[in-house]
Amino acid sequence: PHTAQLEPGNGSVFRTTSPEWPGYGARVTRDYIFQDGELVITHRISKVEASSTLIAAWTITQTTPEATVYVPLAAKSPYRDGVFWWDYSTAPEKLGATFLSPKLLRIQPVTGAGFKLGTHPAKPALAAVRKGLVFLQRADRQEGEYPEGGEGAGFTVEVYHHSQPPPNQYTELELLSPLRRLDQGAELVTRWSIHPVPEGQEQATVEKLLEIDKK
């Protein structure tokens, strides 16, 4: 369980704080504030002196299975089509994946077909569309090596689809920070927002929100 409070002197910041992790000594704090139409969440793992353990902040948001997920892709990547799939035994199209362009992947999850993917766009973000609304998540880009993926091409975003049948089916949108030593602490800033989709303009709306460069 976490404690929760409004920060003194700034009632618009809501902070949650975890208990100390047994065996690590660190705490997780999250600050929530609305800024310019976004819910900005700052995730921090506090420092533990003289600890060289590697850590990363790694956020997960679950969406309902009927949501269509859009994943921005890196312009240059060591991975085939810019995406690493944990299991290559099933063709991406059988998982509901469609490459709309070299820089944008759309996934309409297929019931019973589980998968996990990672990629490394220049601007970390993910979008989920449902009932005429886009749920957009963005993260501030940070330099460094990431928990998963190749050197220099670590995954800043990942998507996981749970293969269990309804009502236990869901899709995870994941944003990551680079690896840091625990005596340095780790931080990840994520930004949530919701946007309407004009009729017939879903792809164009998502491309604009994800800042897809068509050049």
What is the percentage of the chain residues whose pLDDT exceeds 90?
81
Amino acid sitting at position 70: Y
- When mean pLDDT is compared across 8-12, 32-36, 40-44, 131-135, the lowest value belongs to 8-12
pTM of the predicted model, to two decimals?
0.94
Collapsing DSSP to helix, strand or coil, 202 comes out as: helix
Element (H, E) at 207: helix 202-209
- Tell me how long the chain is: 215
Q: Distances in Å between the alpha carbon of 91 and those of 85, 145, 146, 205?
A: 10, 29, 26, 27
Give percent of the chain with pLDDT exceeding 70. Answer: 98
Provide the pLDDT for residue 10.
63
Q: Which residue would you say has higher pLDDT here, 193 or 163?
A: 193
Region 71-80 average pLDDT: 94
pLDDT band at 215 (very low <50, low <70, confident <90, very high): low
- In DSSP terms, which residues pair with 101 in a beta bridge? 104
What type of residue is 20?
Answer: E
Of 19-33, 120-134, 139-153, 155-169, the least confident: 155-169
Question: Among 31-45, 127-141, 164-178, 181-195, where is mean pLDDT lowest?
Answer: 164-178
Q: Is the pLDDT of residue 8 over 80?
A: no
Determine the average pLDDT of the residues in 117-122: 96
Q: What is the mean pLDDT of residues 15-24?
A: 92
CB-CB neighbours of 69 under 10 Å? 24
Mean of pLDDT over the chain: 93
Tokens representing 4?
């929760």
- pLDDT-derived band at 11, boundaries 50, 70, 90: low
CA distance linking residue 68 with residue 86, whole number of Å: 20
Q: Is 23 left (phi over 0), alpha (psi -120 to 50) or beta?
A: left
pLDDT score at 157: 98
